[in-house]
């Protein structure tokens, strides 16, 4: 029996990284977000914001990287495996931008399915912008809406994790996963 694949997603600045790190500290295996790595590699190649300058190339790199992470999940034994963002994040962000993408993006998202999805809503108390997070809080709210629609498009039920202390957020997620394994 393979591990249950659980996505933690949300717009920028919602506490995903903190939540995933805390899950990892509690002993849960986690696949980490790769978009900052893709962004930094592009910056080293002289492209300031690859996501803005060539969204299709950026998104294709993310799709391939997240697909590789998904496939790596096959080697995890029984239990729970958390992902900091999943495949449908790619198409959701493309939809947010209004950018067309090849049909294989949809096919990949439809063919590689996670067991549960938890989305973190925009939270003004913790939101900050930085070198890789250029979106305003208002844009983060729009991205959140596109993420919920995006995962729903692939027939996921999206659990919205309440804002609050990281321990309470983890408790919410684990409580909803009890019947999954």
**Helix axes 87-97 and 103-111, enclosed angle (nearest 10):** 150
What pLDDT does residue 118 have?
98
Cα–Cα distance, 141 to 139 (Å, whole number):
5
Question: Of 8-12, 13-17, 79-83, where does mean pLDDT reach its minimum?
Answer: 13-17
Cα–Cα distance, 88 to 112 (Å, whole number):
10
Range of the domain at 139: 4-33+70-180
What pLDDT does residue 171 have?
96
Is this prediction's pTM over 0.85? yes
Q: What tens digit of pLDDT does each residue of 101-148 get?
A: 999 999 999 999 999 999 999 887 775 766 655 677 788 899 999 999
What pLDDT does residue 181 have?
47
Instruction: Note whether residue 88 is domain-resident.
Output: yes
Instruction: Note whether residue 49 is domain-resident.
Output: no
Domains contained in the chain, number: 1
Strand, helix or coil at 94? helix
Instruction: Note whether residue 65 is domain-resident.
Output: no
Instruction: Note whether residue 59 is domain-resident.
Output: no
Q: What tens digit of pLDDT does each residue of 154-169 get?
A: 999 999 999 999 999 9
Q: What is the CATH number of the domain that holds 110?
A: 3.40.50.300
Instruction: Note whether residue 52 is domain-resident.
Output: no
Instruction: Note whether residue 64 is domain-resident.
Output: no
Instruction: Note whether residue 39 is domain-resident.
Output: no
Q: To 5 degrees, how large is the angle CA 88–CA 51–CA 127?
A: 80
Average pLDDT over residues 37-54: 81
Instruction: Note whether residue 19 is domain-resident.
Output: yes
């Amino acid at each position: 029996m393979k591990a249950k694949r659980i996505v933690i997603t949300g717009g920028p600045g919602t506490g995903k990284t903190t939540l995933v790190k805390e899950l990892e500290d509690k002993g849960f295996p986690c696949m980490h977000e790769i978009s900052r790595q893709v962004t930094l590699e592009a910056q080293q190649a002289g492209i300031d914001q690859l996501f803005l300058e060539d969204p299709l190339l950026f998104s294709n790199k993310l799709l391939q990287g997240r697909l590789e992470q998904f496939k790596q999940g096959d080697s995890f034994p029984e239990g729970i495996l958390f992902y900091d963002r999943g495949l449908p994040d790619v198409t959701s962000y493309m939809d947010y931008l209004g950018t067309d993408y090849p049909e294989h993006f949809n096919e990949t998202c439809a063919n590689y399915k996670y067991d549960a999805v938890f989305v973190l809503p925009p939270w003004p108390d913790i939101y900050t912008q930085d070198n890789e997070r250029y979106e305003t809080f208002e844009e983060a709210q729009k991205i959140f809406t596109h993420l919920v629609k995006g995962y729903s498009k692939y027939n996921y039920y999206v659990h919205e994790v309440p804002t609050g202390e990281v321990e309470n957020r983890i408790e919410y997620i684990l409580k909803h996963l009890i019947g999954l394994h």
